[in-house]
Amino acid sequence: MKDRVLLVDDDRNLLAAMQRSLYRRFDLVTADSGFAGIAALQKQGPFAVVVSDLRMPKMDGIQFLSIARQIAPDTVRVMLTGYAELQTAIDAINEGSIFRFLTKPCLPEDFYRVLEAAVEQYRLVISERELLEKTLQGSIKVLMDILSMVSPFAFDQASRLRHLARRLGVRLKVERLWEVELAAMLSQIGHVTVPQTILEKRYKGQQLSDEETKVFYSHPQAARDLLKNIPRLEGIAEAIAYQCKLFSGGGFPPDGRKGKAIPLIARILKVVLDCDALVQTGKTITQAVAVMRSHEDWYDPAVLGALEAEGLEAEEGFIVRTVSLDELLPGMVLAEEITDGQGVVLVPKRYEISEVLKTRLLNFARFGTVSQPIKVLEPVRGKTEA
């Protein structure tokens, strides 16, 4: 199979000449503008190599290759120009991560050699990525197989945690969602280092001694030590190490980290772990959240709000936030009804607050009681880095 190459140049005569000289070796696609090149990348890719002229109207080669890098990061990029300016070459390399920079006129044999080198670079990138992905997948499978044999309960728990963590990640608009899922799957792998007797007591809800508690809570650190040397899992390993850490700074490990200094994935794991433990006693997610709110300083408010929104089956991308009557703003949607001191519903849940309605509530509060805090649905803005 021929290697696919995209050649972008506003000189149609050059495009035709290249097509004639290279068609035997490469599957060559041509485009006469940067915009046409972007369309080709999106509709006809993937390409091993993209070659672009520098001087083109409306969108020059630097701009085009910068966009090409975003669309097809694995495709190797080559710049072709008649202007051998040093600064131009530096800008092109910095902006588009150019593999080679060629000047016109370029001898066919030189052009051919550069394409061959670029194709070889593409093959190297793809093969290394495939090797890394297969190694990663294989390593994870081995670890999960070991966990299923050593502690079937922990294996089942990891599966439940994965599904809930993913839903919270979606709701929070976490950018690298796969890391959240993978961290939840591997969060219990450290149990392989904990004696079975301690695990059984823990799962049965029996009281652990101080020494047993210390041994049990060593499992996140053990998981980090198992995972930290696997490529691409370094951040996940760090998050798993902090899965039992309280947002207020307490818990394990007993160090100075607190609040958003704790990895986001760890904050998600803490919420899903405690929720799962409560759900296993027969509680619903909504009931579990009610219990967890009695220890609100243990959890990231945004993550706990995402869990509460999940229990209410709110639209994805929303979390629950608690506000006072004064903080209530027009456009907010109620996550639950607003009631007076006797439990009489003043405003039903899912109702959108308006200026008039807020004024009415404020006037009512002057002569009566409005139960507070008030729970509202709040959209998550942008993407959250994991």
What is the domain partition of the chain in residue ranges? 3-128, 151-311, 318-386
Per-residue model confidence (pLDDT) at position 88:
63
Cα 192 to Cα 251: distance, rounded to the nearest angstrom: 21
Residue type at position 127: S
Residue type at position 132: L
> Could you read off the pLDDT of 14-40 as tens digits, one per residue?
888 888 888 888 888 999 999 999 999
> Could you read off the pLDDT of 125-159 as tens digits, one per residue?
887 777 666 767 777 777 778 777 777 777 888 88
Average pLDDT score over residue span 313-318: 76
Q: What is the CA radius of gyration of the chain?
A: 29
Per-residue model confidence (pLDDT) at position 360:
87
Residue 99 CA: distances (Å) to CA of 32, 41, 117, 124: 21, 18, 9, 13
Ranges 53-57, 288-292, 340-344, most confident: 288-292
Q: Are 55 and 81 in contact (CB under 8 A)?
A: yes
Q: Are 373 and 322 in contact (CB under 8 A)?
A: yes
Q: pLDDT band for position 322 (50/70/90)?
A: confident
The CATH classification number of 151-311 equals 1.10.3210.10
Q: pLDDT band for position 91 (50/70/90)?
A: low
Superfamily of segment(s) 318-386:
Molybdopterin biosynthesis moea protein, domain 2 (3.90.105.10)
Average pLDDT score over residue span 203-228: 88
Per-residue model confidence (pLDDT) at position 14:
85
First CA to last CA across the chain, in angstroms?
A: 39
Residue type at position 44: Q
Q: Are 55 and 26 in contact (CB under 8 A)?
A: no
Average pLDDT, rounded, for the chain: 85
Average pLDDT score over residue span 196-208: 83
> Could you read off the pLDDT of 228-246 as tens digits, one per residue?
888 778 889 999 999 999 9
**Over pLDDT 70: what percentage of the chain?**
93
Residue with tokens 């972008």: 8
Average pLDDT score over residue span 112-132: 83
Q: Which of 84-88, 246-250, 327-331 has the lowest mean pLDDT?
A: 84-88
Average pLDDT score over residue span 103-117: 83
Cα 10 to Cα 79: distance, rounded to the nearest angstrom: 14
Average pLDDT score over residue span 209-215: 90
Name the nearest CA neighbour of 28 among 56, 47, 55: 47
Per-residue model confidence (pLDDT) at position 127:
79
Per-residue model confidence (pLDDT) at position 111:
84
Whether domain 3-128 has CATH 3.30.450.40: the reply is: no
Cα 5 to Cα 51: distance, rounded to the nearest angstrom: 8
Per-residue model confidence (pLDDT) at position 29:
92
Average pLDDT score over residue span 61-71: 88
Note the pTM of the prediction, 2 decimals. 0.62
